[in-house]
Structure 1
């Protein structure tokens, strides 16, 4: 069990919080000063993660957009798949905002727990800034200086610029387009490699940060971390139910047939926490239990695994909305529109990796879009293993659901053509 990075990070968080809280209660000034020095190691680890965000998001967006364009060029079914994926991701993002509003109305973040987490974080945002009005929001979508936007962590304008850049690359001559995409693909792989290296030190970094949180906040933050796990897990579970209902109602699959088809895939998702690892099982169950032709499942499922993470915006945006609640920040309508757009874009472009590896790269841009700090994310990553299980189960469920829906659409189109 201790070979699992997720388990080691979770143990490191618990030990850090406990030792920090004990030091706050019983230790003298010398010990507390030593903890401050150890906590600086956690700050170094956090900065090592942060330095990959801007180059990684830009590179994966360029490569991802080019991949979408290439897939769309392969035929009508690919275009229909991409359109349905974008629509589903947009729905997922909007659903998450509405779910969060209802969830936190029924079970609000406690003021004491939020205060403990804020005290434990090493930085706080300037939430007194003036929220942008609609005119300023629209004007700010295109960055007057893309380099400045990257340096200032202005993520939404950077996403807009990266999107235009990615589509422009697809218009280049074949040799230049290939060279450009190879360059940005190499950049993204290099950034992912750096993230892997940094995450090797995750137990040390999380322990160091947990010491600081425990020292300043005591054990008051622990209950709110449990609240966070419940919020994100329930969002993912409810979206899994939505995907299953779509398969049964829109895909016209009886409940028993659907359960028999999806259950083995969901078990594999629980065990692996990787949609890619579940692809062979999805293809087999789609063919044998759902009767989906190989020409449909062979195109739609690999494309869905590459591009479609139905619970991705929910899980990622849900984290950012939890952080916003901790800091007492309520986004405006324009800010919600902006962060939904970024959630969809980053979900489309993000690499298919286990949740802990993509956690920071996927969620930090959303926090930065809302003007929130990312200092709580290393603490939350320690408990990501639980929401990530439900995230992966939801993703594979939605992958099979849209495959069945598209298979029905193709069959209906064929019948119309022969009529």
Structure 2
């Protein structure tokens, strides 16, 4: 059991919080000073994660968009699938925003709880930025200097530039296009390797950061982390129910659909991997839902490789939780920009390892909202719980989409 990195990270989180709280309650000045020195290790680990965000996002955006453009060229069914996927991802981001408004109105993050978690951050957010106007938002979508946007963490303009760059590569001759794709794929793989190295030290980094959280926040931090887990899990459950609602609205055989998806959900719960569930999804779609092989063979791999219906919900949900923690009030234009970033990064990071995609998908959303990313390593430590519900929602959405698209396809190729 201790061989699991997720288990070791959770243990490190709990141990750090407990020891930090004990030092605050019973330790003297020497113990507190020692913990502050250990925190430097946590800050180093956090910065090692931060340094990969911009190159990783740009690389996966370029290769991901080029791949989607290639998929769109494979035919009518692929094009319909991509339209559905983009629409569902946009809906997911809007759903996350609406769900957060309702959830935190019912169960707000209290000032004491927010302060408890916020106290453990190594940096404070820059909240002095003026809210963008609509004119400023539109004019700022394209960066006047892409390198400057990257250095200033202006994520939305960088995402827009990466999107144009990715689509432009599809207009190159085959040899040159492949060379560009290979180059950025290599950049992405290098960044993933670096992140994996950094994550291998996650128990040490999380322990060091959690010591500081426990020192300054005490046991109060545990309650707000449980609040966070509940919010993300319920958001994932909500979007999963939307997938069932899709089956009802498009008049699928609902009992049949429920029976078909149930064993795949069990596999998703156990593996926490949509890719690992792909064979089971293809089998259940064919045998239980009567989906032709040519439909399931195209739509399901495309959905697994491009779409995670829970991605915008969970990723945006993390950032919206931090909005509550820091007591910010982003403008409508800021939320619109963050929504676009949530959709783009969720689609671009599909296929990345879970803990890699957590930081690569959520950090850009936080930055677009003016939030720091200092608390993300603490939240990564408990990601194993929401990730179960992410995967269950993803496979449910994938199978619902496949069955709906199969309804309008002719019986024979």
In the alignment, structure 2 segments of 5+ residues that lack a partner are none
> 1:244 & 1:350 partners in 2: Cα distance?
25
Q: Find the counterpart in structure 1 of residue 264 from structure 2.
A: 265
Q: Deviations over 1:196-251 (max 9, x none)?
A: 1111100100000000000111111110100000000000001001101212331x
> 2:129 & 2:350 partners in 1: Cα distance?
34
> 2:61 & 2:259 partners in 1: Cα distance?
36
Alignment of 1:165-204 (within 5 A): 165-204=165-204
> Is the 1:133–1:334 Cα contact (8 Å) retained in structure 2?
yes
SS in 2 for 1:149: helix
> Is the 1:273–1:354 Cα contact (8 Å) retained in structure 2?
no
**Structure 1 length as normaliser, TM-score?**
0.97
Which one is further off, 318-327 or 256-265?
A: 256-265
Cα displacement (A) at 1:256: 2.2
Q: Find the counterpart in structure 2 of residue 338 from structure 1.
A: 337
Q: Find the counterpart in structure 2 of residue 151 from structure 1.
A: 151
Cα displacement (A) at 1:29: 1.1
Q: Find the counterpart in structure 2 of residue 14 from structure 1.
A: 14
> 1:389 & 1:270 partners in 2: Cα distance?
5
Which one is further off, 59-68 or 118-127?
A: 118-127
> 1:268 & 1:8 partners in 2: Cα distance?
23
Alignment pair present for 1:403 and 2:402: yes
> Is the 1:274–1:352 Cα contact (8 Å) retained in structure 2?
no
Q: Find the counterpart in structure 2 of residue 383 from structure 1.
A: 382
> Is the 1:355–1:385 Cα contact (8 Å) retained in structure 2?
no
Cα displacement (A) at 1:164: 0.4
Cα displacement (A) at 1:356: 2.1
> 1:173 & 1:128 partners in 2: Cα distance?
47
Which one is further off, 275-284 or 258-267?
A: 258-267
Alignment pair present for 1:27 and 2:40: no
How many residues align structurally? 413
> 1:50 & 1:6 partners in 2: Cα distance?
20
> 2:133 & 2:287 partners in 1: Cα distance?
53
> 2:395 & 2:286 partners in 1: Cα distance?
15
> 2:260 & 2:356 partners in 1: Cα distance?
29
> 2:353 & 2:175 partners in 1: Cα distance?
33
> Is the 1:35–1:211 Cα contact (8 Å) retained in structure 2?
yes
Cα displacement (A) at 1:255: 3.0
